[in-house]
Structure 1
């Protein structure tokens, strides 16, 4: 029995206790009757005893229910359940004591030591203790690889129990190290014995030259005695080389039998220094290695390799390839290729064929060459080629690394770099475009002051103004993509945002699409702009509707919006190096549409990329979503399988000060009277914007002094009176607005300043370290400029 025994609780049942109480009360009443002779007094004494006993029993039942529930754990049932698991299972309590474990745990660790004090390799117990502390904190935590004797294992620790006061420890073989461990054990076991019977001495060598594993015949020849082992020792010390370059065992001396070493290359050697397999063949016994028995052993050995290995004969044809090689090369097992050149693109066929022919004719040192596989020619891979001797019909060994995960990470880095570069370009374009729109809108406003409704030109001017406002919306999308838009973040709950936009979504989706909304529990607050989050939900919902209509032209489908809490443990399970482990609130939007093809998935967030027909999409929808999420401090991921719909998951970090909400700005009633007085110093490098602003301010009663850059403004201040207000662009050549404003403040410390710019306020605030500064985003109308100037003067 591998569980800690727990003594059963000893107590009376309620019925027995009540009968005992009644019996004691009756005896006491008889004694009172005998002493006093009063039946009334004795009856009252009996009734009081019954009442007190009932009250005591009631209190005992109420107080003991929870206690019994808390301590009565059926560990026999728990162990029976643990016995059904294929992995080693152990359970510890809050004090770290082992309370239950299955037989596999006993077999794995040779008994029942309590985690984390287990016979693991260097640092293993410390790593396991760290995982245990993380599980108490997060509810679940992995341990990473742990070395136990000759195998590598991993552990997963989970907090459990009704009171969350226990830890479940699950141990299983590490997935990545299983094949290497199998090869290590196989060389020291049956496979090594069979290789020895065929005259093959084999050893697995670490990058530093130490022997990881060797078959018994090699250990016997190297040590000169049976039963010994050379594991952990330097392999080179057992060999010597004579003047002719022949290799022999050092123990046998120069009179010993010459050896023929055969090295099987591992693809990891190029970057990670992985182990290598060395086979030693006696020169005089070399023909034996060509026998059918040796060929079978070599075939088995190649299939166990944890890297992609293929054998090629002298004619350049494939003899064998293992599963890792076929997966790395994208080979269909039902239609295997005949020659190595069939794997690569047409331009690389000749180079591969020449290399195979060269190594088949005697080239010894392994060589690497970059090739492009036929199935995915856009990503070059490294093909390692080496000559093979004493391996039957095989003359050349090919090694190909499965770098799909590495390629995925490279694509992510390239995508992020490209998005950043395009974002900077988009932000610059939006800034210049905003200057042009400011001039157009300003002139429209000035012309409308001279025309009234009904004039022949009034409608035309209004049409120009309306189109300019539409263009301003496009620049806001560009700024959103480049993460340079002006946000108004608030502390909010995601379910509130979804509820606000649900009615709009029902109208957008139509009657044939079903909208399902569900919210998780214990959602943390997030800090974001609610208007921009609504735009994110709408953009994703519209794309989902189009995808479902493409799959079913007659309509139909389901759009699911779900919110849930995400802890650090789930973030670690996702395995993304981009998103740090923390507490997040997730927003998932999934559909039942056509899905997103895998070749398109990495490009969906690029600006102006769209799979819709010409005229039906701008390609800015998902790029805008990406920019809003990233500027809000969140992360967005897209998952899809063709034909099974797509799921977009947005992770927003939980706001630490969740109880404090950002107050809304008070609503200010607009005043029709925009007349003002005072002197305004206007600094703007764009002549068209400066002209519009100067005319607008002059019409509203201000005396305007204008300058084309910061240096000209400082020179102008030397010859004029003190201004009442400084209005300046932020980004200007030679001297920018903040630098010029600091010089002006040295002379006029209390001068109010109004900055205007086509960039976002959040981006510019980092470079503005001045007090009493207002901000006016471009493009702006004449009325907005007048209101901003009046407000800046009133707050001075």
Structure 2
């Protein structure tokens, strides 16, 4: 049929050409009749032929196919691709906006949250932010542990990967961290090869919940109890599958009394680290039913054949288990038991008492003998392992019957990592508690010092040099200033001091303090200084950094003077540390990034290993009584941590000590760029001469009296209040003031709460807070506009100057 259509089309094409030819001939003939000129006819004919050929070429040419337009991204395809039942997946762009996410992500975190800003705790949020930075920089970032405060037990592992044609997207994969479950692991073994191996040896196994229902059973158990090795025994009543015969013997119910008897081994699957006996209402059990003639010892060839399988079962368990006879000899110990005993990879000893310290050998031997010869009971005993004699551990014991001779099952769990974590948590908790205590003591002590210093200043106004009391007052004032310096050390340790950070270079700070160091070190100790090139700037308080260097230098001097002839060498060095260097350190503490390191190295006697982990604790010192407060290194630690840095100590006895401080390199933002030099402004007056009305709010009577007298003497009108509520009543009662001077911490209504309430009555009234806590911490917590701060303790001159400066700076705004 296709050939007929082609012929028809060809015939129609020839007919069309014939008509065209006839029309052309008629046109030429007509033209010849009209003109009578052959040349004109031939020219006209040739032109028509050329035009016709051109038309044929254009008609037969195929149009070029236009290129398809670039397809827009179809995110629905991406969502379908990332849909996973075992992991939450989300994609974010450069602005950390959620582009798409699978269903599991939306169930866990909601579509309104985009990583790394997820509803997690503060520590997890920092890990997510660090993972995002690493992913954008290195292509991949990880957060090993992410938790939520409102969902206890919910723990995730997060991985971020940079992707896209322009590397402008992050793909986040979030997976659940499953807690270790020994019972779940055992269920898998019972259902697998181990259960089949026990079945060939004549042992049926089942895991039974406290309510008596079966959680898992081996194929041999299903065969003996139900007649079908493929039957699912989950949920069946374990007791209903057995029958009791004469003499307390057990058999299978389906045998109807005609089958053989079995021996039941009952092993509670309890955590041996928990104190006391296992709770039968919450503890699952492993039930082993051995056919008649199968057992451990004394039962002939069939009994001994089951021993390797029983050992294989115990060897697969993640719990440390061992078997001892009633005479105290160790019959078997699985690898987990030896690992928990600190003997990983070694052969089990002949006696379990060989694993404990000498003082505990007798108690363990008596316990094994008691559980082996008495009724089948369970208990535990506290022992100290020879491998870790400082930490007592709990050893579980259970009398086992039905394995031939009476035996004792021993349980021990590897608690090394748990013990280490407990120590770290206890240390961190202790340091946090001591820091809070130090900050509170410093705050209260600053109130006392403010009153003492202020009273001394007022007394000095009435005495001149040469008076009998002048020198005594100056001595009181000098000692008070020494006490104030001690409180600053306490605040530095608790990271609550007031820092005034600047952008600086460490070599400049060392140069400023080097002259003082040479005087402190003396003639016998040589000071060497070296610097790397291209050091990055750091943002820190130069005065506090100088204190860090001086404290470390003084400690080094004391260490070198106490050794030999007192000579030695102190080296101060700065080093450039790149992100590659940090990753090569493989430190879990210092995040990857650029740092400038300060190294302080001495040639003293070194720090003993048992003291190295305590040197940053407050009030810990190895110096003689009266020669050290124990706050030097703790102050250094507090300053470094508050500056965002890290400090480490390395020491070897006889060779000296090295302290290394890592301060992050600060990259200024555009807002921090130095402004162009402006025309010099007219100098401001150094003193305020305009007077003013001041509301003074302070709950400490001595501080309030000193501040009131100091300000009154300088010409201010001062009205006092004992607490925030009284101060608020004065303002709401119509009192008009130019400044509110208030303490921060007060009973009932504190200073910030009073200031917020006063601002509702007088929105433009400036507030000057006075406190012994850090200014940065208070500004973060208070966050009130037109707020000023003065640190306690202060002198009469300082409080007068500060009040004048605040009134001078705000007088234009209130004019």
Q: Under a length normalisation based on structure 2, what TM-score does the superposition of the two structures give?
A: 0.61
TM-fit CA distance, 1:181: 11
TM-fit CA distance, 1:737: 2.8
Counterpart Cα distance in 2 of 1:390 and 1:730: 73
Counterpart Cα distance in 2 of 1:334 and 1:182: 24
Counterpart Cα distance in 2 of 1:289 and 1:532: 80
> For residues 530-569 of structure 1, what are the structure 2 equivalents within 5 Å?
530-540=542-552, 542-543=554-555, 555=568, 562=575, 564-566=577-579
TM-fit CA distance, 1:700: 2.3
- After superposition, what is the alpha-carbon deviation per residue over 1:140-177, rounded to whole angstroms, capped at 9, x for unaligned? 668999xxxxxxxx999999xxxx9xxxxxxxxxxx99
Q: Does 1:623 align with 2:634?
A: yes
Q: What does residue 471 of structure 1 align with? A: 483
Q: Does 1:282 align with 2:283?
A: no
| Contact 2:244 2:250 (C-alpha < 8 Å) held by counterparts | no
Q: What does residue 11 of structure 2 align with? A: none
Q: What does residue 114 of structure 2 align with? A: none
Cα distance 1:295–1:187, how it changes in 2: closer, same or farther (>3 A)? farther
Cα distance 1:218–1:781, how it changes in 2: closer, same or farther (>3 A)? same
1:445 pairs with 432, 457, 482, which one? 457
Cα distance 1:765–1:343, how it changes in 2: closer, same or farther (>3 A)? same
- After superposition, what is the alpha-carbon deviation per residue over 1:633-674, rounded to whole angstroms, capped at 9, x for unaligned? 55666677888877767666776864553879x999998867
Q: What does residue 433 of structure 1 align with? A: 445
**SS of the residue aligned with 1:695?**
helix
Q: Does 1:726 align with 2:727?
A: no
TM-fit CA distance, 1:473: 0.7
Counterpart Cα distance in 2 of 1:156 and 1:749: 49
| Contact 1:484 1:759 (C-alpha < 8 Å) held by counterparts | yes
TM-fit CA distance, 1:788: 0.8
Q: Under a length normalisation based on structure 1, what TM-score does the superposition of the two structures give?
A: 0.62
TM-fit CA distance, 1:469: 1.2
Counterpart Cα distance in 1 of 2:700 and 2:641: 31
Counterpart Cα distance in 2 of 1:643 and 1:239: 74
Q: What does residue 242 of structure 1 align with? A: 243
| Contact 1:316 1:356 (C-alpha < 8 Å) held by counterparts | yes
- After superposition, what is the alpha-carbon deviation per residue over 1:84-129, rounded to whole angstroms, capped at 9, x for unaligned? xxxxxxxxxxxxxxxxxxxxxxxxxxxxxxxxx9xxx9859989xx
Q: What does residue 18 of structure 2 align with? A: none
Cα distance 1:622–1:290, how it changes in 2: closer, same or farther (>3 A)? farther
| Contact 1:187 1:202 (C-alpha < 8 Å) held by counterparts | no
Q: What does residue 765 of structure 1 align with? A: 779
1:260 pairs with 248, 258, 263, which one? 263
Q: What does residue 682 of structure 1 align with? A: 696
| Contact 1:183 1:305 (C-alpha < 8 Å) held by counterparts | no
Counterpart Cα distance in 2 of 1:136 and 1:365: 60
| Contact 2:506 2:574 (C-alpha < 8 Å) held by counterparts | no
| Contact 1:506 1:515 (C-alpha < 8 Å) held by counterparts | no
2:712 pairs with 698, 702, 707, which one? 698
Q: Which moved more, 1:439-448 or 1:587-596?
A: 587-596
TM-fit CA distance, 1:573: 6.2
> For residues 35-54 of structure 1, what are the structure 2 equivalents within 5 Å?
none
TM-fit CA distance, 1:400: 1.2
2:320 pairs with 308, 323, 326, which one? 308
TM-fit CA distance, 1:702: 2.8
Counterpart Cα distance in 2 of 1:243 and 1:202: 18
Q: What does residue 113 of structure 1 align with? A: none
Q: What does residue 624 of structure 2 align with? A: 613
**SS of the residue aligned with 2:448?**
helix
| Contact 1:679 1:723 (C-alpha < 8 Å) held by counterparts | yes
TM-fit CA distance, 1:564: 2.6
- After superposition, what is the alpha-carbon deviation per residue over 1:67-95, rounded to whole angstroms, capped at 9, x for unaligned? xxxxxxxxxxxxxxxxxxxxxxxxxxxxx
Cα distance 1:562–1:123, how it changes in 2: closer, same or farther (>3 A)? farther
TM-fit CA distance, 1:716: 5.8
Cα distance 1:347–1:727, how it changes in 2: closer, same or farther (>3 A)? farther
| Contact 1:325 1:399 (C-alpha < 8 Å) held by counterparts | yes
Counterpart Cα distance in 1 of 2:160 and 2:596: 24
> For residues 60-71 of structure 1, what are the structure 2 equivalents within 5 Å?
none
Cα distance 1:204–1:716, how it changes in 2: closer, same or farther (>3 A)? closer
**SS of the residue aligned with 2:440?**
helix
Counterpart Cα distance in 1 of 2:266 and 2:600: 52
| Contact 1:681 1:704 (C-alpha < 8 Å) held by counterparts | yes
TM-fit CA distance, 1:477: 1.0
Cα distance 1:397–1:335, how it changes in 2: closer, same or farther (>3 A)? closer
Cα distance 1:295–1:565, how it changes in 2: closer, same or farther (>3 A)? same
Counterpart Cα distance in 2 of 1:282 and 1:139: 60
**SS of the residue aligned with 1:793?**
helix
- After superposition, what is the alpha-carbon deviation per residue over 1:462-492, rounded to whole angstroms, capped at 9, x for unaligned? 3332222111110011112222211223456
TM-fit CA distance, 1:741: 3.8
Cα distance 1:740–1:327, how it changes in 2: closer, same or farther (>3 A)? same
Q: What does residue 76 of structure 1 align with? A: none
| Contact 1:638 1:647 (C-alpha < 8 Å) held by counterparts | yes
| Contact 1:264 1:397 (C-alpha < 8 Å) held by counterparts | no
2:789 pairs with 764, 770, 775, which one? 775
Q: What does residue 417 of structure 1 align with? A: 429
Larger radius of gyration: 2
TM-fit CA distance, 1:531: 3.3
Counterpart Cα distance in 2 of 1:317 and 1:262: 21
| Contact 1:586 1:649 (C-alpha < 8 Å) held by counterparts | no
Cα distance 1:310–1:243, how it changes in 2: closer, same or farther (>3 A)? closer
**SS of the residue aligned with 2:294?**
helix
TM-fit CA distance, 1:745: 4.5
Q: What does residue 106 of structure 1 align with? A: none
Q: Does 1:328 align with 2:340?
A: yes
Counterpart Cα distance in 2 of 1:516 and 1:279: 72
> For residues 94-493 of structure 1, what are the structure 2 equivalents within 5 Å?
123=86, 138=138, 240-244=241-245, 255-262=258-265, 281-286=290-295, 287-288=299-300, 306-321=318-333, 324-329=336-341, 338=351, 340=353, 343=356, 355-361=367-373, 363-364=375-376, 367=379, 381-389=393-401, 395-490=407-502
Q: What does residue 100 of structure 1 align with? A: none
| Contact 2:264 2:402 (C-alpha < 8 Å) held by counterparts | no
Counterpart Cα distance in 1 of 2:232 and 2:555: 61
1:709 pairs with 710, 719, 723, which one? 723
For structure 2, the residue ranges without an aligned partner over 5 or more in a row are 1-80, 91-104, 106-127, 146-156, 168-179, 275-281
- After superposition, what is the alpha-carbon deviation per residue over 1:47-68, rounded to whole angstroms, capped at 9, x for unaligned? xxxxxxxxxxxxxxxxxxxxxx
Counterpart Cα distance in 2 of 1:233 and 1:589: 65
Q: What does residue 41 of structure 2 align with? A: none
Counterpart Cα distance in 2 of 1:156 and 1:711: 52
TM-fit CA distance, 1:314: 0.3
**SS of the residue aligned with 1:285?**
coil
Tell me the C-alpha RMSD between the 2 structures: 6.1
For structure 1, the residue ranges without an aligned partner over 5 or more in a row are 1-116, 146-153, 165-175
| Contact 2:376 2:401 (C-alpha < 8 Å) held by counterparts | no
**SS of the residue aligned with 2:244?**
coil
| Contact 2:222 2:233 (C-alpha < 8 Å) held by counterparts | no
Counterpart Cα distance in 2 of 1:144 and 1:723: 56
